[in-house]
Amino acid sequence: MNLAPVTLRRLIAAALAARRHAHAPYSRFRVGAALLTASGKIYTGVNVENASYGLTICAERIAVGKAVSNGHCRFRAIAIAAPSAQPTPCGACRQVLAEFGDCLVICVDSRRPRRVWLHQLSELLPHAFRL
């Protein structure tokens, strides 16, 4: 799936901006996500850590929850910004995203925002669980 360069830049900027609001007091690993719906709306999310770690919520799933709670269930792309050499969604987030179809996944190293990797979700999760 191709995105217009201006749309790609908007998504990356939204994910980078969202990172500032992450709640990551334990790992200090701040993640921001920006989800583009089929209708063109952008919903952001951040990781929210918890002292038990197992209750931590990923930025991607928060963005999905915000979009779905506003009536959007078709997604074109998601940008993920994290301080990592090549950030990608965790397995749980990949499966949650796959529930809504195959979208473009844009991965951005927040320390070097010009470093961007593009993947189709189906490449990152080739055998998603389906009912």
Look up the pTM and report it: 0.95
Determine the pLDDT at residue 120.
Answer: 97
Determine the pLDDT at residue 1.
Answer: 65
The answer to whether the beta carbons of residues 50 and 82 sit under 8 Å apart is no
Q: pLDDT confidence of 2, banded at 50, 70, 90?
A: confident
The sign of the dihedral angle between the CA atoms of 21, 23, 26, 31 is negative
User: Would you tell me which CATH number, out of the four given (3.40.50.1820, 3.40.140.10, 3.40.50.10160, 3.30.9.90), belongs to the domain 5-123?
Assistant: 3.40.140.10
49 annotated active-site: no
Domain residue limits, the chain? 5-123
The sign of the dihedral angle between the CA atoms of 90, 92, 93, 99 is positive
pLDDT tens digit string along 83-112? 998 899 999 999 999 999 999 999 999 999
* Contacts of 44 by beta carbon, 8 Å cutoff, 6+ apart: 14, 15, 17, 18, 32, 33, 34, 35, 63, 66
